[in-house]
Chains A and B, each alone.
Chain A
Amino acid sequence: MKFYDALGLEPKLALDSDDVKKRFYDRSRQWHPDRFSRASSEEKQRSEEMTAVLNDAFRALRDPVTRAEYFLRESGLELSKDAPPELLEEVFDLNMALEELRGGDESARPQLAAAQERFTGMLGDADASLAEYFTNYDEKPDRAVLDEIHATLNRRRYVSNLVREVEKELNVHSAN
């Protein structure tokens, strides 16, 4: 996988973030276009290309979630934008409460704040299980684990959008 290659890493899901950072800095020192300003134009272009990929790679791999997304995409799995079925009922209630708050009904606030807390908790849980799946998959690349990761990521993405939306509404309305 190109991004792993750029940082000289084995394509593993679990990475030591300090190690990733160190590799990024070390390679930047060597490859950055600033180091090639008096070189031939081919060398300059190569440095630019390599640094661009290095930067893109660091951006994708330093964070476990974007890293897993990249890993899945490279394995041919796209993330979906649909609501995870197990959350449908809860999201329905949440949207009602959001509507009420937007309409000025303050009684919806406690319910939203509670939902907010629950969803934030879910994010934490998702991160914890991702970490576990990562080590499992790295030890034994099992397609079933990859599917678990896929499902977790889908859910995480959806929940994190919800959290952001609720937070925004709670803030907007507390401002008035």
Chain B
Amino acid sequence: MSTLQIDFGHAKPRIVGIDLGTTNSLVAVMDLTGPRILSGIVPSVVSVTSSGEVIAGSEAREMLITHPERTVYSVKRLMGRGMADVQDELKLFPFRIAENSESVLKLQLGDKVMTPPEISAHVLRKLKEDAEDVLGAPVTQAVITVPAYFNDAQRQATKDAGRIAGLDVLRLVNEPTAAALAYGLDKRKEGIVAVYDLGGGTFDISILRLHDGIFEVLATSGDTHLGGDDIDNLLLQIALEDIQSEWGENVSDNAGLVQLLRRAVIQAKEALSFAPSAWIDLEYGPRKYQREIDVQLFNRLIEPIVERTLGPCRSCIKDAGVTVEQLNEVVMVGGLTRIPLVRSAVERLFRKRPHTELNPDEVVALGAAVQAGILGGEVADKLLLDVTPLSLGIETMGGLMSKLIHRNSTIPASATELFTTAVDGQTNVLIHVLQGERELVKDCRSLARFDLKEIEPMIAGMARIQVRFLIDANGILNVTAKDLRSGKEQSMDVKPSYGLTDDQVEAMILESYDKAEEDFKERQVREARVEADAILGATDKAREDDAYQALSEEDRAAIDRAMNELRLAYHSDDHLLIRNQIEKLNQATMSLAEAIMNEAVGKALKGTNINA
């Protein structure tokens, strides 16, 4: 990489686009030729090693089987949620909730306790580092995608995760909308398109109108707890029951086995998209479990899940004020849209063959990169006008919800309300802000309580406090209040119902800086040193080999010289210099390595047992 490194020193810092998925995460960037994925898929799994280090990605996914008690997956399901929300999840997922989880959910991972945003931050940090390695420059700004149907708390939690990971989150973009951007659908100057996104944990449907580069979302709907995880859990249940009857033993408490089985189940599920039948195949020590599942059975199992996506589709069409006939295109996003039953259900409902040209795993990240390009100014001809998925309101007398901003309103959107006091001398007014479509407060989602305080005592009804509710372009609520009598800003306390306060996030940012966050350059140096250690160690060992003695004096001197030079460079903090010397040592030891290799192959061949 070092030789090909392009100097970005004078260029604007790059904004990356990140798809922070339930199962898989990806990072992409906008190039002159279009959006480009920067590194491979990063599984959204986080694990704590025995030495207390936190790792994320493929390595962590391996730990699911070896150390299930210190590893967590699908944490997106817990973002912005409270204890009461996750009771159902807890039955199906091996989440271990730590004590003191009343105000903010906390997970126990080994001896570490982490909130969902902190856990997601580790996935984000991994993506950030991958991106930095490819770009050869620090990355500090990002666009992150969220399910369109995410509520305020879930969005806020995602933004918090970004901040904790050291990223300035310039925008949250809805996943289906991002996909529409990536699909280049705007080649059609005018048109109406639907995006159907069924992933690992969430389902979204959005309908957009395209107009000369403007992507105007007309309506969106979905379910933030519907996806591949649910299919996995169904199959897992069946397999566990099978095993119970075959082995005469309930193994559902054996977390390692369950994870191994979950992996086997996922393999079968994915294979069934391309084959008429597949095996769930488990080997656990000396014991085996095998079961064939054919497509007919699989379809019967998942039909209710597929069916659950169609209701939101119908209401979205209605809310968008369009008919099925008016829709020009349907786009499929998310790993689950590879399932033939899903495709045929969508085709039947929308009466058109859906687009599946782009890789459904990558399209959201690519779209996030396009949005990053829009924000960075490189993409000038596109603009996204998104909507808020849920109505926003306040609690009024009798436990009723009074709507201020209706769902599917284009964001930013705002509303103002005038508040006053009800009794003489009252100095506080409490505003309870909610999100949801139902009439009763108890059926809506509590967002926060705002306490307008230090109101000047006066006769009831005299105070005039104007409160402005603004849903910003990220879909996040901002509230400001003004005392109309004095014209001054009204002071208030905010208590979010779920999630972290600003102070808590700040503390986590500091903590993550202390422990894990390193400056990009430092990391480059550290990585170069790790490589240097490896090659120096290997060379030292090789020098004890007979092959070393067999080298010419000249060759041996060259190796020694290169080793010394690398050791000198080692303590500089210039990673390019270190890598340069590594490369030189590599060259110098080329013939030595070859000689040793031949020797080893020779030995290996001699020892080969033909019966093995």
Footprint of B on A, CB under 8 Å? Answer: 25, 28-29, 32-34, 37-38, 48-49, 51-53, 55-56, 58-59
Contacts and interface: CB of A to CB of B under 8 A. Distances in A.
B137 interface: no
Contacts of A29: 214, 383
A37 B12 CA distance: 13
A56 B214 CA distance: 18
B414 A32 contact: no
Interface string B381-422: 001110000000000000000000000011111100000000
Interface residues of B, number: 22
A25 B409 contact: no
A59 B171 contact: no
Interface stretch (B128-136, B226-234, B369-377, B430-438): B369-377
A19 B370 CA distance: 29
A33 B385 CA distance: 10
B473 A55 contact: no
B387 to A, nearest CB: 9
A37 B414 contact: no
A53 B383 contact: no
A38 B141 CA distance: 11
11 contacts: A28-B385, A32-B383, A32-B385, A38-B375, A38-B376, A51-B412, A52-B412, A55-B385, A58-B410, A59-B410, A59-B413
Interface string B192-212: 000000000000000000011
A55 B214 contact: no
Nearest to B474: A33
A99 to B, nearest CB: 22
A34 B170 CA distance: 9
Contact of A25 (B214, B371, B411): B214
* A-B interface, 10 closest residue pairs, ranked by CB to CB distance from nearest: A52-B412, A37-B375, A52-B414, A55-B410, A33-B473, A51-B412, A48-B412, A34-B374, A37-B170, A55-B413
Contacts of A59: 409-410, 413
Nearest to B409: A59
A52 B413 contact: yes
B345 interface: no
A77 to B, nearest CB: 19
Contacts, number: 54
B411 A37 contact: no
B473 A34 contact: yes
Contacts of A49: 414, 470
Contacts of A25: 211-212, 214
Nearest to A53: B414
Contacts of A51: 412, 473
Contacts of B170: 37
A28 B385 CA distance: 8
B472 interface: yes
Contacts of A58: 410
Interface string B343-385: 0000000000000000000000000000100111100000111
B412 A38 contact: no
A56 B414 CA distance: 7
A51 B171 CA distance: 16
Given A34-B374, A48-B472, A53-B414, 12 more contacts: A25-B212, A28-B214, A28-B383, A33-B412, A34-B371, A34-B383, A34-B473, A38-B376, A49-B470, A52-B412, A55-B412, A55-B413
A6 to B, nearest CB: 12
Contact of A34 (B211, B212, B375, B470): B375
